[in-house]
Amino acid sequence: MKLLVGLGNPGRGYEGTRHNVGFDVLEILSRRAGSPVRRSRFQGETVQTTLRGCPVLLLWPLTWMNLSGTSVLAARDFYKIDDGDILVICDDFQLPTDTIRLRSSGSAGGQNGLSDVLSRLGGTAVPRLRVGVGPMPAGWKSADFVLGKFAKSEREAIDCLLERAADAAEEWAALGIQAAMNRYN
């Protein structure tokens, strides 16, 4: 089984914000899988389904972004999933909004939710899919920017980007990180 984790913050006030694109990508994947019933588990919500014939667990941690690792660790340990079979989907304000970037490992790059996941799992060899939500305008504080909602003029481009990110996540689940990186980076 593969574990796909979308990072975000719980609650209606955070819906549609840049910081919640990880949740948004999981919503698309869940819809594509026929919108299976969610279960409350691992301090989050889960959907167990298949993507392109591969069994997956979709996980929306409800621990707040910066504490996401608690939820991910619980799911990983329960299902005994290797770190290489976890894909963390998160926002990146340093990437432009037309860009997604897959990596098999590395630093958190300033993304606090990803940092907490890596810290709690005990390593950096965790695949991640960064969804560009930038660039951040000059003079903005990063927290204000990522917690802001997309402008109406950005919505169509963002919706296309989220669909593309969902495609990349499916490719990762079915064919692995290298195939997904080759096609989507």
111-155 tens-digit pLDDT: 999 999 999 999 999 999 999 999 999 999 999 999 999 989 999
**Burial class for 84, CB neighbours closer than 10 Å (0-12, 13-18, 19+):** middle
For 13-77, strand residue ranges (E) read: 39-41, 44-51, 54-61
Question: One of 5, 7, 8, 19 is an active-site residue; which one?
Answer: 19
| Across 4-16, average pLDDT | 96
In tens, the pLDDT along 53-71 reads: 999 999 999 999 999 999 9
| Model pLDDT for residues 28-48, shown as the tens digit of each residue | 999 999 988 999 999 999 999
- The CATH number linked to 95 is 3.40.50.1470
The residue range of the domain holding 91 is: 2-184
Q: Distance between CA atoms of 133 and 39, rounded to whole angstroms? A: 29
Whole-structure pTM value: 0.97
89 assigned to active site = no
Number of domains, the chain: 1
